Structure 1
Amino acid sequence: MKINFILPQPDLSGGWRVLANYAQLLSERGHEVTCIWATRPRKSLREKLRSVRHGKGWPREVREPSHFDELDLPFVEINPHRPITDNDVPDGDVVIATWWETAEWVSKLSPSKGAKVYFIQHRESQFDGVPTDRAEATWRLPMPKITISRWLVDLARDEFGDEDVTLVPNSVDMSQFFAPPRSRQPVPTVGLLYSTTRFKGCDVSFEALRKVAEQFPNLKVIAFGAELESPQLPLPPNSEFHFRPAQDAIRELYARCDVWLCGSHSEGFHLPPLEAMACRCPVVSTAVGGSIDVIENGVNGYVVNVGDAAALADRLVRVLSLAPEPWRVMSDAALATAQRYTWDDAAALFEQALFKAVQSTAVESAVESAAVV
């Protein structure tokens, strides 16, 4: 198939890593893949001032690194930012929207660009700065949809009446994320992803860690993230922070933790918990994204209600208090969970969903042609 991905400007976030994986894996399966994106709109003065207030400094109008940088695939970059139209997209078999704004663009493309598919990784109306009405309206566009977690499948059905949704869970590259059998750390150690983005819930995570430190005064925290630590959201005492670590280094960070913490208020899937599991690290998470699907309470970690710092702290203490052998059993169970989610399997499911969309579009076109005759 000739496959066109229509993207916002890629970056180093987990969602774009997923998109880069699928673009690469579909290419390796023999498909002709083209990636087309529009650069980000220039930030307004108000947005720049907000960045300064939040401790992120004056934003630079430069292209950020992304997970697409290393891909040997054709791409088209539209600069300055504007809607992507027929003139930008080669004719193909399938064209994939990957963000609410790109779904608006894809819906207006001609049939020659391919069967239209909408790949959804979150309820994007929850993001700051996203126009709620427009983002929500894209769920109702007449395109088959692919999404990454059960809660998004349920959302499409229950709130938007759409049953034509394929679940393709995110996965983990076991050649990249792994660790040998291991014991707990000499010092109790909790890991987390650092972000000042509100829905990532670091405020809740830090409150939970303060409670944990009351029982483990020598508690160590290992964190990494794509943004520098903000004075408005300082890391807990005895924290070790890594800014944009290399992928190989991330594996080592996971493997140095006794338990991985996610306190998010909302996630589409959220890759770090599954990656941590691949590195034999149990996970304590709020009930968000893929954590609901992959964590079994008391087996490979724990799931608690969103916003419940006390419950997060309680489950962290449970894991950190385990004797060596029960902790190792939970560690092995985390690994076994991760091993069930491979990118090859995910790519096969994604590919099947694309074939189905192409076939359905062909049938609809034939029916419409027959009706005209």
Structure 2
Amino acid sequence: MKITFVLPPVNLCGGLRSTANLALHLGKRGHEVLAVCPERRKPTLYQQAKSLLKGKGWMDTRTRWASPFDELPVPLKVVSHISPITDLDLPDADVVVATWWETAEWVNKLSASKGAKVYFIRHHEVHDYLPLERVKATYKLPLHKITISQWLVDLMKTEYGDHTVSLVYNSVNFQKYYAPPRGKQSVPTVGMLYHTTKWKGCDISLKAFELAKQEIPDLKMVAFGLNSPLPELPLPTGTLYHCNPPQERIKDIYAQCDAWLFGSRVEGFGRPILEAMACRTPVIATPAGAAPELIAKGGGKLVKPESSEDMAEAIVQISQLNQEKWQKMSDSAYIAAKSYTWDDAAELCEQAFHKAIERTKNGELG
């Protein structure tokens, strides 16, 4: 098949990383894959002034940022204009895939020659900082939907009336995320991904750490994130924080921990869960994204949503495991992660594309 992925302006976000890896493995299955994105809009003088006044510095003016496509042999075409992407920017193909709510609007307007229309949904993007009604409208467009977790499949059915959604789980690059077998740390240590967006739930994880530290005084925190911590969401004193670490270092950060904290309130999938598990680190997770499916395979603990107390209790329980029991949980985490492969994901995605082509021929899709 000829497959075109239509992307927003690229960056290093996890969703684009998953799309790039999936495209790579579809190519390995013999398909002709191309990714297309527009240039990034340059910030206006007003936006620059606002950023400076807030103390955030001068905004990046590059029209293209670094992305996972720089690391993988997947063809990426950056068109020489800002959004939207139109027929003039794309080759004829068998399938054309929207990868974000805004790209779904673009794909819906494409001519039939660009391929059967697919909407790859990695999250339910109903956030206050987005145009909610436009976003919701994209989930009702006549595009074949693919999602990455069972909760999204169920949501598309119950809220948007779509009973034909395909499920394609994420995976991770096991050459990038790995660690040899190990024992517990000499000092009890937990880790987390630092993010200031409220639905990422960092506040839940940070409060859980403080509560657990009351029972384990020498408990240590390790964290990483793209930006420096903000005063309104401070990290605990003594935290070993890695700001925008090199990608090759992230596996070592995961491997420094006895448990990884995942406190999201809502999530499409939750890649850090698999990344940590691939590095043999048990995960303590709220039931967001694919966490219920991933944790059910062993290798961590699922806690109540919005409950720092429940997460703190899990931190204490894992920190107090003896070496043998912790090692067993660590091994279970690794086995669970290895059960999700990009080869399997590419095969399921291929089946979903064939279904989209068939539905298009039957007149079910736009």
Greater CA drift, 255-264 or 233-242: 233-242
Alignment deviations for residues 54-83 of structure 1 (CA, whole Å, 9 cap, x no partner): 764342222321111123333322344221
CA distance in 2, matches of 1:170, 1:2: 22
Match of 1:371 in 2: none
Cα distance in 2, alignment partners of residues 277 and 308 from structure 1: 22
The answer as to whether partners of 1:56 and 1:230 remain within 8 angstroms in 2 is no
Q: Does the 8 Å CA contact 1:255/1:280 hold for their aligned counterparts?
A: yes
Q: Is the 8 A contact 1:185 1:256 kept in 2?
A: yes
Mean alpha-carbon deviation: is it higher for 90-99 or for 56-65? 56-65
In 1, the alpha carbon distance for the partners of 2:43 and 2:199 equals 21
Amino acid at match of 2:202: C
CA shift, 1:17, in A, is 0.5
Farther off after superposition, 18-27 or 107-116: 18-27
Partner AA of 2:89 in structure 1: D
Please list the CA deviations of residues 288-333 of structure 1 after superposition, one character each: whole Å capped at 9, or x if unmatched. Answer: 0011211139x42111222211111111111111111111111111
Distance 1:198 1:57, change over 3 A: farther
Distance (whole Å) between structure 2 residues aligned to residue 69 and residue 145 of structure 1: 27
Q: Percent identity among equivalent residues?
A: 49
Q: Equivalent residue for 1:347? A: 346
For the Cα contact (< 8 Å) 1:261–1:284, is it kept in 2? yes
Alignment partner, residue 71 of structure 2:
70
Deviations 1:181-223 (A, max 9, x none): 2110000100111111221111121111111111122221111
Aligned pair count? 365
Q: Deviations over 1:234-259 (max 9, x none)?
A: 21112111122233311111111100
Measure the CA separation in 2 of the matches of 1:187 and 1:48: 44
Q: Is the 8 A contact 1:201 1:264 kept in 2?
A: yes
CA distance in 2, matches of 1:8, 1:278: 29
Quick check: 1:219–1:238 contact (8 Å CA) kept in 2? no
Give, in whole Å, the separation in 1 of the partners of 2:14 and 2:55.
23
RMSD of aligned alpha carbons? 2.1
- The one-letter amino acid paired with 2:324 is E
More displaced stretch, 135-144 vs 173-182: 173-182
Name the CA distance, whole Å, in 2 between partners of 1:217 and 1:230: 25
Structure 2: gaps (5+ residues) = none
- 2:321 aligns with 322
Whole-Å Cα distance in 2 between the matches of residues 212 and 54 of structure 1?
Answer: 34
Residues in 2 aligned to 1:345 and 1:277: alpha-carbon distance in whole angstroms: 18
Change (3 A) 1:53 1:133: farther
Cα distance in 1 for residues equivalent to 2:73 and 2:283: 35
> Tell me, what secondary structure is at the counterpart of 2:70?
coil
In structure 2, the residue matched to 1:311 is 310
**Matching of residues 1-373 of structure 1 within 5 Å:** 1-43=1-43, 56-62=56-62, 63-126=64-127, 128-296=128-296, 299-364=298-363
Is the contact made by 2:20 and 2:74 (CA closer than 8 Å) also made in structure 1? no
Question: Which piece of structure 1 moves more, 213-222 or 179-188?
Answer: 213-222
SS in 1 for 2:102: helix
The separation in 1 between residues aligned to 2:214 and 2:237, in whole angstroms, is 12
Answer whether contact 1:199 1:264 (CA < 8 A) is retained: yes
TM-score, normalising length from structure 2? Answer: 0.94
Contact 1:258 1:281 in 2 (8 A): yes
Q: Mind listing any 5+ residue stretches in structure 1 that lack a counterpart?
A: 369-373
Query: Partner of 1:211: helix, strand, or coil?
Result: helix
Q: Structure 1 pair 321/52, CA: closer, same or farther in 2 (3 Å)?
A: farther
Between the aligned partners of 2:314 and 2:326, the Cα distance in structure 1 is 13
Work out whether residues 224 and 244 of structure 1, in 8 Å CA contact, stay in contact via their aligned partners in 2.
yes
Deviations 1:67-102 (A, max 9, x none): 111233333223442211111111111000000110
Distance 1:118 1:18 in 2: 15
**Deviations 1:107-147, CA, capped at 9 Å, x for gaps:** 01000000000000001122x52100000011101111110
State how far apart, in whole Å, the 1-side matches of 2:357 and 2:55 are. Answer: 47
Q: State the alpha-carbon separation in 2 of the partners of residues 134 and 9 from structure 1.
A: 19
Structure 1 segments of 4 or more deviating over 6 A?
none
CA distance in 1 between counterparts of 2:294 and 2:52 reads 38
SS in 2 for 1:134: helix
Q: Is the 8 A contact 1:95 1:114 kept in 2?
A: yes
Give the Å deviation of 1:10.
1.6
Q: How far apart, in 1, do the equivalents of 2:24 and 2:242 lie?
A: 27
SS at match of 1:353: helix
- One-letter amino acid of the structure 1 residue matched with residue 118 of structure 2: V
- The 2-side partners of 1:232 and 1:66 are apart by 29
Residues 148, 51 of structure 1: alpha-carbon distance in 2 compared, 3 angstrom cutoff: farther
Q: Distance in 2 between matches of 1:130 and 1:45?
A: 22
